[in-house]
Amino acid sequence: MDGPRRPLPTEWNQVVDFFNDNLRFDQSWKIDQEYPLAIHSKNLNNIRVLSINNELMSGAVMKMHIMKCSMGLFKVAAIGSVVTAPEHRNKGYSHEVLKDCLQAAEEQVCDFALLWSNLYDFYRKVGFELAGSEVSLVIDKEMNAENPEVKILETNKIAPEALLKLYNFHTTGTIRTVEDIKAYLKIPNTRFYTAWDKGNQLLAYAVEGKGADLNGYIHEWGGMVSHLVPLFSHIRKAQGRTITVIAPNNSSNLIRSMKPYCSTVNHGFLGMIKLLNYDNFFQKAIRYSRNLGVDGFIVHKDGDTFLIGCKDKIYQTTDEKDIVRIIFGPMNEVDYKNFDQETQTVLKQLFPIPFWAWGWDSV
């Protein structure tokens, strides 16, 4: 067995074929078109594979993102395309690959790793936990919210600079370049919708579908709520089916405006998170608490023990999940009952942080 290791540049075509044959064998496009930044030869150093007799049999892909939210900037390892060839499964290969990914992400000073999966127990075994929040607005009612002042176009011929300008108004998400957006605009099996004013200024955008994933889901959007609502109304009508908008929990204005059109508003998890460089990450949390004028907040890892609290009231846990849930949420009232009143007030003031990842950046 050879690996886990980063692939050799000479193996590139073999690597793309491996992920494609095991994950997208039934599609008309290739997997690198679906993940143009992650499955790209420039990102080779962040891919891990295992091979036997020169044949690839297990692998995973990471994309390092710089992500922002009100707590500051994070370096995040987004992990995906985790796969073992069917004949080699249940021999521990994926876990070996994942552990190697996490080690590389730690060495690259990532604050935490993030992934999207429904194989919760599989990823829990390497330390991931469900955390963060995401709201799904299921638009199943008729919407007649079009606005004659707003012109809607369905095309991917959108200036990436204009998209980026609107995207940058988001308070949370990955820091992107124009080149990143250009690449994302070419992802197959995607529908793009834009709203324009009479002077041909881009007012809002929405993206539905992403390759084999997110069919029927608007996973990227931007612009003011007053322009997004007519845009979503158009999409609902044009597609003639239930459409779900996914949004960060803190988009309260949008959520409130869309509720009349949704029988269901689901509150789910953002994804699965595993902390990596504890000291770095906790220093950011402490700095953030000071910026908000909170004195004496402490979060620290000492050996296997996590310490969290305020002033002289410090709580201990050896379960990373407890800390991840406090910082990223979700926490319910019963969870807070484990803390004294003053600590509860501080934790609720600081956390959960309004952190979110947009659909194009999932791997």
Ligand X SMILES: CC(C)(COP(=O)(O)OP(=O)(O)OC[C@H]1O[C@@H](n2cnc3c(N)ncnc32)[C@H](O)[C@@H]1OP(=O)(O)O)[C@@H](O)C(=O)NCCC(=O)NCCS
Q: Which residues bind ligand X (CB under 6 A)?
A: 58, 82-84, 89-95, 117, 119, 121-122, 125
Q: From the CB of 88, what's the least distance to ligand X, in Å?
A: 7
Closer to ligand X by CB, 79 or 231: give it: 79
Closer to ligand X by CB, 50 or 254: give it: 50
Cα–Cα distance measured from residue 269 to residue 278, given in angstroms and rounded to the nearest whole number: 22
Burial class (CB in 10 A: 0-12, 13-18, 19+), 357: buried
Q: Are 350 and 293 in contact (CB under 8 A)?
A: no
Closer to ligand X by CB, 30 or 301: give it: 30
Which residue shows structure tokens 């949390």? 285
Contact partners, residue 66, CB within 8 Å, separation at least 6: 73, 74, 75, 76, 174, 175
Q: From the CB of 301, what's the least distance to ligand X, in Å?
A: 25
Q: From the CB of 7, what's the least distance to ligand X, in Å?
A: 17
Q: Please write down the HEC assignment for all residues of 257-299.
A: HHHHHEEEEEEECCEEEEECCHHHHHHHHHHHHHHCCCCCEEE
Burial class (CB in 10 A: 0-12, 13-18, 19+), 35: buried
Q: From the CB of 140, what's the least distance to ligand X, in Å?
A: 28
Closer to ligand X by CB, 83 or 143: give it: 83
- Round to the nearest angstrom and report the end-to-end CA distance of the chain: 26
Closer to ligand X by CB, 84 or 190: give it: 84
Q: Is the peptide bond before 352 cis (omega within 30 degrees of 0)?
A: yes
Q: From the CB of 113, what's the least distance to ligand X, in Å?
A: 13
Q: Are 38 and 363 in contact (CB under 8 A)?
A: yes
Q: From the CB of 89, what's the least distance to ligand X, in Å?
A: 3
Closer to ligand X by CB, 271 or 329: give it: 271
Residue 233 token pair: 């109304």
